[in-house]
Structure 1
Amino acid sequence: MKVFLPAIMFCLFAQFSFAQDQTVKGLKDESAKTIKKDEKDTANITWRKGGLYSLNLAQGSLSNWAAGGDEFSLSVTSYLNLFSFYKKDRHSWDNTLDFSFGYLKTTSLGARKNDDRLDFLSKYGYSIAKHWNLSALFNFRSQLARGYTYPANVRTFSSAFLSPAYVLLSLGVDYKPGPNFSFFISPVTSRWIIVKNDSLSAKGLYGVKPGEHSAEEFGAFASANYIKDINKSVQYRGRLDLFSNYKHNPQNVDLFMTNVFSVKLSKLLAATWNIDLIYDDDVRLFGKNAHSPALQIKSLIGVGLQAKF
């Protein structure tokens, strides 16, 4: 799989955003500020915590509608991001949790999910030079609810909690030229693929041998993270992960990329666009004959409530 196009997209986003107002500071930049307790006592902030939650809802009903359409439709999408950043002396510890879930129900299609992602990332760093850290990274990614694909309108069970799940542990160096961007790279990374469900395991899906519930991979890993307030109303948040398995087809690089654009419309109202790209050489559910991998694309656009805390 050639990953040049998604990587170029990510770089273009970064180039465009860096050219904007450089005075906008990210969340991590505030971790060095001091809180004034009283006139005689100040303390350096070592933790910065917060989050964001958005909820989008759409509903429609038709009765004797000549133009046609579903009699009833309901769509709900939600997104939760929690963060906790630590910085003191040479030590830093960044933690983020992302959870998104979408639900769709129509008269003709019935009920099904259209989004489901649970993603926890933790990264510890020790400064060795300006902008450079020795770092250890841990990542867990899965979903919560049972998922299905619908080839030829036939419902086929394809996923569940911990089926699959990806656990990644990596040691490397982290480059942080500023509070908005970081680039982590490692030549020594272990990744475990878990398929807990017996029926999915029996099919040998997601790179796990038939009948087994896990597989271990060892390879190289790179991760780029970027957060930017383009202006007072528009924010971009992106992440690109690349993994090459030394043990099997190292030239077929696995890709995970997530992009979130948020446009603030009012104090509690915002428009969001989320686009995710995934390529996994071991996921062979979507080809014409279900024997070849394919680039997975998810795009969700919504307008609804958004709250920061």
Structure 2
Amino acid sequence: MRKILTLLMICYVSSYAIAQDQTVKGLKSDSERSIAKDPADTTQKVWKKGGQYGLNIGQGSLSNWAAGGDDFSLSVNSVLNLFAFYKKGKHSWDNTLDFNLAYVNTTTLGSRKNDDRIDILSKYGYALGPKWNASMLFNFRSQLFDGYTYTETTRTFASTLLSPAYVLFSPGFDYKPNENLSIFISPITVRWTIVMDDTLANRGEYGVEPGKHSRNEIGAFASVNYFKDFNKILTYKGRLDLFSNYKGKAKNVDLYFTNALNVKLNKILSLTYSLDMIYDDDVRLFGPTKTGARMQLKSMLGAGLLVKF
């Protein structure tokens, strides 16, 4: 009898252990199983946000240098680009903010600003088809700090916050053949040139009448925006704005063209080249008599920190 009870006890313990082992294996299998998305859940992300910040610094020094030069030089260039894109159904809203600021300091010339720009672009669109939108575009451009023009012996106050500033409202049509390219066209656009500083306004700078603080124009407008990550190393961003004033010389088209090329060296370092071109027929500060309009060019090349977020 005792042998029979012992045998039954062994069988019970064995069966319990086997059951426990199967339970553990089942729990492990359940924990490793991937969770499948519910096919009925079609929620899409409507906002896409991000940006990048770049900082380039250069420094040089000379001591007892026979060939000549400045004893000390320092250049600092910073660029901030932010974006927020919204898309839901037939509605889209594209927003970008670009802020550039750069200074150069040398022993003989002192500190001088060589870049200062704040540029806000906002564009609402309603889809008319797969590639066409009816859109409304808003653009604001200005700067933050005082700017000067220089001769060998003097400097002249030339610009500051909201002097000038450019504000543009433009209803039109936006063609987007792909996610990298946007071509906006408008037959009727209103643009204001603002000069809030009294000194500059009294001089009649930037096309405003002497003593007045603003000037409005009506004309045709086109804006081409292109952004492309060619690979993990090379990135290009460009924008071309064209404006023809119906109330002035329509054939003298104002141009605003920005280009930025980034070559990534490693996770945080990059090589950056930028080229800006501006032609404004109302800005007549150039030539022998300082009364002519000219193509304005600015290029910068630097290596430094680049952080994307």
Residue 183 (structure 1) shift:
0.2
Question: Aligned residue for 1:145?
Answer: 145
Q: Partners of 1:125 and 1:54 in 2: how far apart?
A: 30
Q: Partners of 1:38 and 1:79 in 2: how far apart?
A: 42
Residue 42 (structure 1) shift:
6.2
Q: Which amino acid aligns with 1:127?
A: A
Question: Aligned residue for 2:61?
Answer: 61
- Look at both structures and tell me which one has the larger radius of gyration over its CA atoms: 2
Q: What is the correspondence of 1:33-72 to structure 2 with a 5 Å cutoff?
A: 39-40=37-38, 43-72=43-72
Q: What is the correspondence of 1:77-92 to structure 2 with a 5 Å cutoff?
A: 77-92=77-92
What SS class does the counterpart of residue 43 from structure 1 fall into?
A: coil
Residue 259 (structure 1) shift:
0.3
What SS class does the counterpart of residue 189 from structure 1 fall into?
A: strand
Q: Partners of 1:38 and 1:110 in 2: how far apart?
A: 64
Residue 43 (structure 1) shift:
3.0
What SS class does the counterpart of residue 200 from structure 1 fall into?
A: helix
What SS class does the counterpart of residue 129 from structure 1 fall into?
A: coil
Q: Partners of 2:304 and 2:107 in 1: how far apart?
A: 24
- Worse-superposed segment, 42-51 or 204-213: 42-51
Residue 66 (structure 1) shift:
1.9
Question: Aligned residue for 2:200?
Answer: 200
Question: Aligned residue for 1:154?
Answer: 154
Question: Aligned residue for 2:18?
Answer: none
Q: Which amino acid aligns with 1:203?
A: R
Residue 285 (structure 1) shift:
1.7
Residue 159 (structure 1) shift:
0.4
Question: Aligned residue for 1:229?
Answer: 229
Residue 39 (structure 1) shift:
4.4
Question: Aligned residue for 1:303?
Answer: 303
Report whether the alignment pairs 1:175 with 2:185.
Answer: no
Residue 130 (structure 1) shift:
2.0
What SS class does the counterpart of residue 262 from structure 1 fall into?
A: strand
Q: Number of aligned residue pairs: give it.
A: 274
The answer for unaligned runs of 5 or more in structure 2 is 1-34
What SS class does the counterpart of residue 201 from structure 2 fall into?
A: helix
Residue 152 (structure 1) shift:
4.4
Question: Aligned residue for 1:102?
Answer: 102
Residue 224 (structure 1) shift:
0.2
Residue 151 (structure 1) shift:
3.5
Residue 63 (structure 1) shift:
1.7
Q: What is the correspondence of 1:146-295 to structure 2 with a 5 Å cutoff?
A: 146-295=146-295
Q: Which amino acid aligns with 2:259?
A: N
Q: How well do the aligned residues superpose, as a CA RMSD in angstroms?
A: 1.5
Residue 232 (structure 1) shift:
2.2
Residue 164 (structure 1) shift:
0.3
Q: Partners of 1:118 and 1:271 in 2: how far apart?
A: 22
TM-score scaled to structure 2, two decimals?
A: 0.86
Partner deviation per Cα, 1:33-87 (whole Å, 9 max, x = no partner): xxxx984566310000000000000111222222221111110000000000001
Runs of 4+ in 1 over 2 A off after TM superposition: 37-43, 151-154
Q: Which amino acid aligns with 2:109?
A: L
Q: Partners of 1:266 and 1:166 in 2: how far apart?
A: 37
Partner deviation per Cα, 1:81-107 (whole Å, 9 max, x = no partner): 000000111000000000000000001
What SS class does the counterpart of residue 196 from structure 2 fall into?
A: coil
Q: Partners of 1:205 and 1:38 in 2: how far apart?
A: 64
Q: Which amino acid aligns with 1:196?
A: M
Residue 192 (structure 1) shift:
0.5
Question: Aligned residue for 1:120?
Answer: 120
Q: Partners of 1:47 and 1:262 in 2: how far apart?
A: 25
Change (3 A) 1:134 1:42: closer
Q: What is the aligned-residue identity percentage?
A: 62
Partner deviation per Cα, 1:103-125 (whole Å, 9 max, x = no partner): 00001111110111100000000
Relative contact order (C-alpha < 8 Å, sep 6+): which is higher? 1
Q: Partners of 1:128 and 1:153 in 2: how far apart?
A: 59
Q: Partners of 2:287 and 2:242 in 1: how far apart?
A: 22
Q: Which amino acid aligns with 2:195?
A: V
Q: Partners of 1:191 and 1:45 in 2: how far apart?
A: 34
Change (3 A) 1:52 1:101: same
